[in-house]
Amino acid sequence: MKWSLPALAALLLFYPFILTGPFYWDIGVAFLLAAISASAWNIVGGYAGQVSVGHSMFFGVGAYTPLLFYHLWGLPPVAGVPAGMLVSLVLAVAIGMPTFRLQGHYFSMATIAVAELIRIFVGTWDLVGAAIGLQGPAVGRAWWDLTFRSELPYYYIFLAVLAVVLYTTFEVERSRFGYYLRAIKAGERAARSLGVPVRATKLKALMLSAVFTSVAGSLYSIKTGFIDPESGFGILVSVQMVIIAALGGAGTLFGPLIGALLLVPLQTATNTWFGGGGSGLTYILYGGIIVLLARFEPGGMHEWWQRVAPRLMRRSHAA
Amino acid sequence: MLLVQVIVGGLLLGAIYALFSSGLTLIWGMMNFINFAHGEFVMLGMYVALLVVVWLGGGPAAFGFAAAFALFVLGVIVYISLIRHVMRGPMLAQILSTFGLALLLRYTAFWIFSANFVSLPQVSLSGTVNVAGILMPVPQLVAGIAAIALTLALHLLLTRTTVGSQLLAVAEDRNAAMLMGIRPDRMQALAWGLAAGSAGIAGALMAMSYPWSPSVGETFGLTAFVVVTLGGFGSVPGAMYAGLIIGLIQALSAYWFGPIYKDIVVYALFAALLWLRPQGLMGKA
Amino acid sequence: MTAAALAVAAILMSTPSAKAAGTVKIGILWPLTGNAAAAGQASKAAAEVAADIVNNKHPELADLPLAATEGLPNQGGAKLELIFVDHQGNPSLAQQLATRLITQDAVHVLLGAYQSSCSFTATAVAERHGIPFMVGDSAALNITGRGFKWVFRSTPIASDYAATYMRFFDDMKKAGKRIASIAVVTENTDYGTSVADSIEAAAKKNNVAVAIRIPYSASSPDVSAQVLQLKEKQPDVVIFISYTSDSILYMKTMKNLDYMPPMVIGDDTGFSDPSFIPAVADIAQGAMNRSAWDIGKPGSTTYKINEMYKAKTGRDLDDTSGRNMQGFLVLADALNRAGSTEPEKIRDALAKTDLKPEQLMMGYNGVKFDDTGQNILASTYLIQLKDKQYQLVWPDKAAAAKLDWPMKGWKQ
């Protein structure tokens, strides 16, 4: 599959010129954002097997800080991105340390509880807009406010970030850290007996994942120019990350990308076909897809392809 | 005294929490499995009640029974078609399965019933009971008492009947139970039916007093988790006490701190429990 | 063959501009499903009636600009085309839909969005893309408080309502009623927070004590804590700033807990929703509400408009839908004066709007926008629930019925 990576890169790079216009560019941007968030989650949820369903806490932090910097001090939202990453990092450590002691389902539940707690709390905190939320500059004061009318600049900025996340994941995969992650996923007790520093590894994975998720949140709020407790910290944000990674294949490099590739156009299609009622249909489909995935192919499309591809190859060679 | 009024209101609602959480704790105790769609079972029970009233003109007994039965069937179906298979699979699949189910149920309800809040048309139960200055609307009073009664009934079912002891045997030691001739699969299906059924009837009871929409399932699900964590996994009596306590804490928080803070207190308690005492009041560690 | 192909191509390429004189597209964002669906649907019907008034000849409504003619006379009789979208009360969705309306449906102007939180986000999109946005009904101050050029609002705002309430309290005090303290129960999004803030500020200036302010989340089903807090504080007036299902729930819970303050004032919204009166008329007699809409006497323009609306929906026009309809008509008037579909021209026409009270269907003192885009002549009256209808009770000079104080609620 040596040619597939350059081909993929070229496709992503030139997509806006292959399918032009606000409609397709909007889908492209949505796809990239979904891929970034899911890839970020993938590090701790896919590779290390720690199924967090509360990652919206990091996304929300990353989404709020840029608009907060604008709202409080009039700074360009971009200036708030590093702050978001820092707060997410601290949050990851604070949450990770007590929560990683819990196993399996309890861990997932704890992540949901904490994310919900933060969401409700933010909804009562006046400084960050309470239930109303925050807005960014509607009309940019200069280019660094990043308020573009067209989707195109956002597309390339997001693409650059995706490349960074994927590259980092790639390096992690190949490193000893990656080996530790896979060992933990396979079985924590066994990993510990092999000398894997389980606690430290899980924490590091969460920290890395949190930072990237935070950046995804920042990208989202800078582009849309609005954030509120529901769109930043809502449970659907968390669930979407998990679903997309799982659909494509959690714990694989390109799984989140494939998941996003399948799910984002699907969501746009159902929204467009059914107008207002469409978003309900989208989530029914989401739900159905996840249930089928869980029931028949937990490894996602990646695993399905691993099973099916050799058979296809054999048939084409035989012919 | 207003404070007593707050307490009574909290306990009545807490009783309903106890009812729908008892089913969740049963599954949890038996299978070490968390049903993220549990809140949706409650929500569906509310809609079953609505349909029975609107289509058949039934009263509380009718729609209560209908909700219990319909959800019982749903619970068994969910177990047989989905849960039974994913239990043997990876953790991600187990979590995703009921999450996906929750989305499916919730948004199908949105699709069918729309997102508008609905309430049961005026039912036969109305009016308010006045006991020494404490006002209890009849629907809420009846719901609370019925909920406690049903929770106790579930507890008795588990501890005093043959079927019950078979369920508990599977919970305690699946292999030993198999050796005794008990079919774990059947027992687990039954547990799911009971859990969903109790959630359904809890929903029907709540529908008598409160408006709802498909979105309420999410909150009930989380409430159920909190109750079960506090009460201890696998303990129905624990769920009963915990339900009452959580209802009480919620009402007091809303009254003392303000309605927008009541959920914060409850979830903070939840997070604290998970970190400090995951086994809750009465559960096995 | 080539000539034919070229001819076809020429025709195909010219067709878009040949259609341009035909329609002016208005993108309308309302909650057609969700908590406020009834209000959204009612407004949608009102907008359709308004479109009918503008697009077709209605000489019997001669007071209203554009009623007598067909379409927009200054744009060659161009008709208005309405594109409705449902934001479900979700501000993020409102924002996405506004973007779609502008970039993909190429609407010329926008109207919306009911919930202040949704207007807040959708208007920012209009500002960024330079498309005029008319807010027909949202009350939060911050919607026109951001220095935006493209946003206009025909309806009164939170501070107007607060001032109205204070004037009402002054009148009541002069008539000997006790108003030592008030309470404000408010849903906690943009709308509720903005009105509550305005009320608190105005109360402070007018020496009216606010006994308690109770914010709550519109999505929780149990409101007994709020009612019990009120019961403890015993205010003389309770002002509810709530959407539909909460408004109904409050009335029911108050009855259950046997709590009735001397007066309840609903800040429109939930209290004006078509489902409110049928649900709680028997237990909320005497509850007050605000409205800028009065059906008026048979034969009047407002009466005829109400008849048109009633023929379409089977119900009387309510205040919220009326204000949206008025916003629509102001927009149509400006589109006509602009004489073109260019955004800048439309914006200029809007800024120069100067409608007199006789040209309006609502009880405003006129329509004239200041440089924040706010109609400075917007105003409202107060109405009271008697039997199954709201009647105008304040100010005295416009009153059609006597004000009952204290309210009766469920008691006879």
**C182-217, pLDDT tens digit by residue?**
999 999 888 899 999 999 999 999 999 999 999 998
Q: Touching check for A289 and chain B: CB below 8 Å?
A: yes
Q: Are C73 and C344 in contact (CB under 8 A)?
A: no
* Residue B6, min C-alpha distance to chain C (Å): 7
Q: Do C225 and B251 touch (CB under 8 A)?
A: yes
Residue B33 with chain A: CB contacts under 8 Å: 105
Token pair for B189:
């299906």
Check whether residue C203 and residue C250 sit in a common domain.
Answer: yes
* Residue A182, min C-alpha distance to chain B (Å): 14
Check whether residue C386 and residue C359 sit in a common domain.
Answer: no
Q: Residue C297: left (phi > 0), alpha (psi -120 to 50), or beta?
A: beta
Q: Is the pTM of this model over 0.90?
A: no
User: Residue C18 pLDDT more than 50?
Assistant: no
Q: Residue B232: left (phi > 0), alpha (psi -120 to 50), or beta?
A: left
Give burial (CB, 10 Å; 0-12/13-18/19+) of C276: buried
From the list C214, C256, C258, the residue facing B259 with the nearest CB is: C214
pLDDT for A274 equals 60
How does strand B134-137 pair with strand C79-86? unpaired
CATH of the domain at B247: 1.10.3470
Helix, strand, coil percentages, rounded to 5, for chain B: 75, 5, 20
pLDDT for C12 equals 43
Q: Are A36 and A25 in contact (CB under 8 A)?
A: no
**Dihedral of CA A98/A101/A105/A106: which sign?**
negative
Residue B115 with chain C: CB contacts under 8 Å: 33-35, 37, 88
Residue B128 with chain C: CB contacts under 8 Å: 256, 258
The answer to whether residue A11 sits within a structural domain is: no
Q: Touching check for B4 and chain C: CB below 8 Å?
A: no
pLDDT for A308 equals 85
Q: Do B103 and A286 touch (CB under 8 A)?
A: yes
pLDDT for C10 equals 44
What are phi and psi for residue B77, nearest 5 degrees? -60, -45
The answer to whether residue C368 sits within a structural domain is: yes
Residue B108 with chain A: CB contacts under 8 Å: 284, 287
Mean pLDDT over each residue of chain A, to the nearest integer: 89
Check whether residue C31 and residue C143 sit in a common domain.
Answer: yes
Residue C294 to residue B239: CA distance in whole angstroms:
55
Check whether residue C248 and residue C389 sit in a common domain.
Answer: yes
User: Residue C2 pLDDT more than 70?
Assistant: no
CATH of the domain at C88: 3.40.50.2300
The answer to whether residue B59 sits within a structural domain is: yes
Q: Do B33 and A105 touch (CB under 8 A)?
A: yes
Residue B86 with chain A: CB contacts under 8 Å: 294-295, 298
From the list A22, A138, A147, the residue facing C148 with the nearest CB is: A138
The answer to whether residue C314 sits within a structural domain is: yes
> What number is the average pLDDT over the span C161-180?
93
Residue A277 with chain C: CB contacts under 8 Å: 33, 86
From the list A114, A246, A286, the residue facing B271 with the nearest CB is: A114
Reported confidence tier of residue C102, pLDDT bands at 50, 70, 90: very high
Reported confidence tier of residue A2, pLDDT bands at 50, 70, 90: low
From the list A53, A116, A284, the residue facing B108 with the nearest CB is: A284
User: Residue C9 pLDDT more than 60?
Assistant: no
pLDDT digits 0-9 by tens, A177-205: 999 999 999 988 899 999 999 999 999 99
Which is more confidently placed, C62 or A49?
A49
Which is more confidently placed, C219 or A279?
C219
Most confident of A287-291, B61-65, C20-24, C234-238: C234-238
Check whether residue C279 and residue C330 sit in a common domain.
Answer: no
Residue B107 with chain A: CB contacts under 8 Å: 280-281, 283-284, 286-287
Reported confidence tier of residue C15, pLDDT bands at 50, 70, 90: very low
Among chain A residues, the shortest Cα distance to C124 is held by A138
> What number is the average pLDDT over the span A246-275?
85
The answer to whether residue A246 sits within a structural domain is: yes
Check whether residue C60 and residue C90 sit in a common domain.
Answer: yes
pLDDT for C13 equals 41
pLDDT > 90: percent of chain C: 54
pLDDT > 70: percent of chain C: 94
Domain hosting C101: range is 19-156+297-379
Check whether residue C304 and residue C254 sit in a common domain.
Answer: no
Q: Residue B153: name the closest of B70, B68, B227, B80 by CA.
A: B68
User: Residue A8 pLDDT more than 90?
Assistant: no
Question: What is the total count of domains within chain B?
Answer: 1
Domain hosting B180: range is 2-276
Residue A124 with chain C: CB contacts under 8 Å: 188
Q: Are B117 and A314 in contact (CB under 8 A)?
A: no
Q: Which of C101, C107, C121, C193 to mutate: most A Cβ within 10 Å?
A: C121
Check whether residue C37 and residue C122 sit in a common domain.
Answer: yes
The answer to whether residue B123 sits within a structural domain is: yes
* Residue C380, min C-alpha distance to chain B (Å): 29
What is the full per-residue pLDDT of chain B (285 aa) written as tens digits?
788 999 999 999 999 999 999 999 999 888 888 899 999 999 999 999 999 998 988 888 899 999 999 999 999 999 999 999 998 888 888 888 999 999 999 989 988 887 777 888 866 677 888 888 888 888 899 999 999 999 999 999 999 998 888 888 888 888 888 888 888 889 999 999 999 999 999 999 999 888 888 888 988 998 999 999 899 888 899 999 999 999 999 999 999 998 888 888 998 988 888 888 777 777 654
Q: Do C37 and B115 touch (CB under 8 A)?
A: yes
Domain hosting A91: range is 26-318
pLDDT digits 0-9 by tens, C214-273: 999 876 778 999 999 999 999 999 999 998 888 999 999 999 899 999 999 999 888 988
pLDDT for A272 equals 66
Check whether residue C152 and residue C163 sit in a common domain.
Answer: no
pLDDT for C14 equals 38
Among chain A residues, the shortest Cα distance to C83 is held by A275
Check whether residue C149 and residue C138 sit in a common domain.
Answer: yes
pLDDT for A89 equals 96
Q: Which of A29, A228, A267, A271 to mutate: most C Cβ within 10 Å?
A: A228
Q: Do B111 and A120 touch (CB under 8 A)?
A: no
Q: How many CB pairs under 8 A join B and C?
A: 74
The one-letter code for the residue type at B24 is: L
Q: What was the ipTM of the complex prediction?
A: 0.86
Touching C (3+ Cβ pairs <8 A), the chains are: A, B
Residue B232 to residue B191: CA distance in whole angstroms:
17
Question: What is the total count of domains within chain A?
Answer: 1
Check whether residue C55 and residue C138 sit in a common domain.
Answer: yes
The answer to whether residue B282 sits within a structural domain is: no
pLDDT for A62 equals 97
> What number is the average pLDDT over the span C70-87?
90
pLDDT for A4 equals 79
* Residue B124, min C-alpha distance to chain C (Å): 16
Q: Are C209 and C182 in contact (CB under 8 A)?
A: yes
Which is more confidently placed, A277 or C80?
C80
